[in-house]
Amino acid sequence: MILLSVSPDLETETGTSPYAVRVEDLSITYRTTFERKPTLKQAIVRLGRGERAVREVHALKNVSFDVRVGTSMGIIGSNGAGKSTLMRAMAGILPPTAGNVEVWGKASTLLALGVGFNKSLSGRENIVLGGLASGLSRREVEERADEVAEWTELGDFIDMPMNTYSSGMSARVGFSVAVHMKPDILMIDEALSTGDAHFREKANAKMSELRESARAMFLVSHGLGSIGEMCNDCIWLDKGRLMMRGAPEEVIEAYMTHVKVKKSATTTEDI
């Protein structure tokens, strides 16, 4: 059975759901024509037959877990482990190949900084677009636009085209939009690793504030220190499989042992 359910209605037949997200036997497979460069002979034969080699990539394999209201879940793993794919599935962006994904509440997603922005528009105009894309009404967006713009601390740059922005400035706009939409569920992928020290400190404080009001928060990061500090639950993915779930300190320790990295100030912020 394949099911993707994102319900803004928090009520169930038995009352308010104790869950924010439930994932059951989730598998996602990509089909791609990417492969190693063929030899001249292989290319000629394939061209003559009108064939294209198709490769299947199993990004997630039978992943199951549930997340109760009040959970701040960290998602860790090496590059290519399936972390971002899982976030996109929970956000309703990627349909499951197999399995179920159920989400209770409105999710605000920051899955890649700047994705979806119209670079020819100003930061302020993209704030409005981001709010509308999050499901807010025009009136709600207009009420919050000035607050979001001020929070970015970009000054006059907020009214300049975003194609003039640095990556850090774009990050500020993207993060500001995501965290000011008052989401039931907040999903952030690698957002806290971008920007200067002042912005990271401000972002951490905002995340702490959101943990008190959101039904759940998901944070994907290679900064294991941030995971340990901001999350009360953690899962570790490896090659699309769920390897471990538990307290962040325990999961991080097991992961670091697996990748054979000694714990230090450097490794806990970028592995």
pLDDT attached to residue 35? 54
Decide which of 130 and 72 is more confident.
72
pLDDT band at 1 (very low <50, low <70, confident <90, very high): very low
Please state the pTM of the whole predicted model. Answer: 0.76
pLDDT attached to residue 266? 52
Give the separation between CA 184 and CA 245, rounded to whole angstroms: 23
pLDDT attached to residue 12? 44
CA 85 to chain centroid? 8
CATH code for the domain defined by 71-96+106-269: 3.40.50.300
Is residue 161 within 8 Å of 119, Cβ to Cβ?
yes
What pairs with residue 21 in β-bridges?
Answer: 67, 103
pLDDT band at 237 (very low <50, low <70, confident <90, very high): very high
The pLDDT of residue 255 is above 70:
yes
The domain limits of the chain are 71-96+106-269
pLDDT attached to residue 36? 58
pLDDT in tens, 111-158: 555 556 889 999 999 999 888 877 778 888 888 899 999 999 999 999
Mean pLDDT of the 209-235 span: 88
Mean pLDDT of the 174-201 span: 76
The pLDDT of residue 107 is above 80:
no
Give the separation between CA 189 and CA 114, rounded to whole angstroms: 12
pLDDT attached to residue 239? 94
* Number of Cβ within a 10 Å radius of residue 52: 9
The pLDDT of residue 6 is above 70:
no
Mean pLDDT of the 70-92 span: 92
